[in-house]
Amino acid sequence: MKEEELIQQCKDGLSTGQEVLYNQCANMMFRLCFRYLHEENEAEDAMIKGFVKVFNNIHKFDYRGKGSLNGWIKRIMVNECLMELRKRKMLTSPLDNSLQVEVEAEALSHLGAEHIYNLISQLPNGYRTVFNLHVVEGYPHKEIAEKLNISENTSKSQLSKAKAMLRRLIEENEQ
């Protein structure tokens, strides 16, 4: 089924289109939610709430070519996760005076994706959230600051500290 046809079925409220869209995206969206929430049940709840919002608001979606639907759904899921983190008041991590070191590509090159994911999951919630938004999702600091209701400098600081902590975790795992 073509993406435009699938979108129209969802806009028409047809459960067949909704089921196809859910089945196509659920695994990827669950992984996205899990990166932020770090608990399977909470990630699944956020994903389900996100899909409810997708289906309730699909009539507002404006198709702009291949990939635009996935991008739109992804944004809804990220926002759902951020709302959950705000409820839990877990968006900022206590600041520490750790050395701010950039994580170099060569330090990550010998690690597998699963290992890197596990290291990122060890970051405190605030660090992990900003790291995911900036490094994984590609959001600029200004937009992260708006989404998290923090200053741009706090976003930059959280990212820097996340990278420094990630560097330490990588070095500890190499020993």
pLDDT in tens, 4-18: 899 999 999 999 999
**pLDDT value of position 44:** 95
pLDDT value at position 86?
81
Q: Are residues 53 and 129 in the same domain?
A: no
d(CA 37, CA 151): 22
Classify residue 50: in a domain, yes or no. yes
User: In terms of domains, do 8 and 83 share one?
Assistant: yes
| Residue that is written with structure tokens 């600091």 in the block | 141
Structural tokens at position 155: 């976003």
Best CA proximity match to 157, nearest among 173, 141, 169, 168: 141
Q: State the chain's mean pLDDT as an integer.
A: 83
Same domain, 16 and 81: yes
Residue 56 has pLDDT above 60, yes or no: yes
Task: Indicate whether 98 belongs to any domain.
Answer: no
Judge contact between 49 and 96, C-beta under 8 A.
no
Residues 68, 111 within the same domain: no
Domain extent, residue 62, equals 3-87
pLDDT at 102 over 60: no
- CA pair distance 20, 6, nearest whole angstrom: 8
Q: What is the pTM of this model?
A: 0.69
- Whose tokens are 């991008």? That residue is 71
Residue 66, in any domain of the structure = yes
Q: From CA 163, how far away is CA 98, in angstroms rounded?
A: 10
* Number of domains present in the structure of the chain: 2
DSSP helix/strand/coil, 9: helix
Q: What is the pLDDT of residues 13-49, one digit of tens each?
A: 999 999 999 999 999 999 999 988 888 999 999 999 9
- Does the pLDDT at position 107 exceed 50? no
Which of the listed ranges 3-17, 81-95, 102-116 does the model predict with the highest average pLDDT?
A: 3-17
- Is 123 within the bounds of a domain? yes
CB 145 within 8 A of CB 159: no
CB atoms within 10 A of CB 112: 9
Let me know whether 28 and 72 are in one domain. yes
Q: Residue 136: left (phi > 0), alpha (psi -120 to 50), or beta?
A: alpha
The reported pLDDT for the residue numbered 95 is: 39
Res 66: pLDDT: 86
> Are 12 and 81 in a shared domain?
yes
Q: What confidence tens digit (pLDDT) does each residue in 141-166 have?
A: 999 999 888 999 999 999 999 999 98
Is the pLDDT higher at 107 or at 127? 127
Q: Evaluate whether residue 122 is within a structural domain.
A: yes
Query: Beta strands of 20-86 (E only): which ranges?
Result: none
Residue 96 pLDDT more than 60? no
The CATH number of whichever domain residue 44 belongs to comes to 1.10.1740.10
Please tell me whether residues 66 and 8 are part of one structural domain.
yes
Find the CATH number of the domain harbouring 123: 1.10.10.10
In a domain, 79, yes or no: yes
